[in-house]
Amino acid sequence: MKTNQNLAQITESFTIQLADRVRRLTAEGVPVIGLQTGDPDFNTPQPIIDAAHQAMLQGKTHYANSRGLPELRSALSAYVEQRTGRRFDPNSEMLITHGGTHAYHCALAAILNPGDEVLVPAASWQTHANMVRVLRGRPIQIKALPENDFLPTLEEWESQITDRTAALVLNTPSNPTGAVASRAYMQALLDLAKTHNLYLISDEVYDHLLYDGAAFTSAASLAGGEDHIILVNSFSKTYAMTGWRMGYLCAPAAIISSALKESQHTITNVAEFVQIGGLTAVTSPEVAASVEAMRAAYAERRAQVMAAFAQRQPRRVGYITPYGAFYFFLDLRPLGMPSLAAAEKLLNDARVAVVPGLAYGSSGEGFIRVTIAADVEHVLTGVNRIIDWAEAQ
Ligand SMILES: Cc1ncc(COP(=O)(O)O)c(C=O)c1O
């Protein structure tokens, strides 16, 4: 019988697969420090849960508006405008999606034809490249050096543009590196997209998670190029709502009308009670205070990890200072060991689960990613075990 040869060539998500493996080991009684998943260890703020709960009790458990609830789109439009200065029309330029993953899926589905190319930095969230493959496009990895915070130079981007290129993808703050692109960099990238008549897909799911005074630039706040910008965002990271599966897409009306078709024929709509929770997330001052409290907690953990490195001065493992998101990209290059082997050995020898840098693209080789969105004792125990392990190699 026939099967999809395209999907046969795509690897399973490394992080999701690893998380399943850690769950299995834990169930078997093997204590593993799981630092592999980008899932906040905080509970969703209570007002969001209360709003969704009330909505369920009121019977909001049926099909709902496929673009997203009008009141949620209006609130998000105001919220994005207040943060970026750019207004997206809630009726034609916004779509509520099943997480940031689905926002990205719908965006690509709206622009790609088979064989089209999408340029993705060579250390980037795995789905950025794999979703292109799922949709029968070709992801093109753009080399990105650690010395440049893993942000490809403009020349590297431009050198890979062909007449098949459809879009450039940038994620700032970055998973896995924690890099935050400057306004000048973003503007230059948008100008490049404009010059070559391409879309700039800006994945901004970590836009609230910034440290040490780093400034976030939304692509929507850049000058000119309105027709070229596609924003992907999510409730998952900011509001500790990963399990709710809700995100949103902001884009030119023609993109949204195609994305809407993709969404209607794949998910129908996001659950209404989930969206009502989301409305509280973007409008409640109490939730805004919780968001800041979670950010401050990540900042504290980040400082503690950096203090552990400063105190121990390891020679065989270093890190790229993260200015955003909630990960450390640890530099194991002094070991000269492939990152896949290092991650496997760390799990077997030190019982710490991490993601090999290669999973994020070729430029991530020699690195491993650990999360700080986990219990601080786990994070510190895990990081110290990694240091002990690396120094013993
Ligand atoms: C850069 C980036 N974009 C998008 C997502 C998708 O998030 P979700 O689908 O949970 O909203 C993630 C999740 O890890 C991510 O790291």
How many angstroms is it from 1 CA to the middle of ligand 1? 34
Q: What is the mean pLDDT of residues 327-349?
A: 94
Q: What is the pTM of this model?
A: 0.96
Q: Which fold has domain 46-283?
A: Aspartate Aminotransferase; domain 2 (3.40.640)
Domain positions in the chain are 5-44+287-392, 46-283
Which of 17-26, 66-75, 289-298 is the least confident region?
Answer: 17-26
Q: In this model, does residue 14 exceed pLDDT 80? A: no
pLDDT by residue (tens digit) across 59-92? 999 999 999 999 999 999 999 999 999 999 999 9
> What Cα–Cα distance (Å) separates residue 227 from each residue in 32, 191, 194, 365, 376?
47, 12, 9, 35, 43
Q: Which residues line ligand 1 (CB under 6 A)?
A: 38, 99-101, 125, 171, 175, 203, 205, 234, 236, 242, 247
Q: Is the pLDDT of residue 285 over 80?
A: yes
Rounded CA separation 90/79 (Å): 11
Residue with the smallest CA separation from ligand 1 atom 13 is 38
5-44+287-392 and 46-283 in the same fold: no
* pLDDT tens track for 342-365: 999 999 999 999 999 999 999 999
Tokens 């960099």 belong to: 185
pLDDT band at 373 (very low <50, low <70, confident <90, very high): very high
Measured CA to CA, the distance from residue 291 to residue 329 in angstroms comes to 24
Q: What is the spatial distance between Cα 384 and Cα 381, in angstroms, rounded to a whole number?
A: 5
| Helix pair 285-312, 272-283: axis angle to 10 deg | 80
Q: How far is the CA of 67 from the centre of ligand 1 (A)?
A: 20
Please give the Cα distance from 270 to 209 (Å, whole number).
Answer: 25
Please provide the average confidence, as pLDDT, over all residues in the chain: 96
Given ligand 1 and candidates 95, 108, 127, which is best to mutate, with the most ligand atoms within 8 Å of its CB? 127
Backbone φ and ψ for 7, nearest 5 degrees, come out as -70, -30
Give the position, in ligand 1's atom list, of the atom nearest the Cα of 102.
9
Report the CATH architecture of 5-44+287-392: Alpha-Beta Complex (3.90)
* Residue of 205, 232, 239 to mutate, ligand 1, most atoms within 8 A of C-beta: 205
Contacts of residue 16, defined as CB under 8 A and 6 or more positions apart, other chains included, come to none
- Residue 203 region by backbone torsions, left for phi larger than 0, else alpha for psi between -120 and 50, else beta: beta
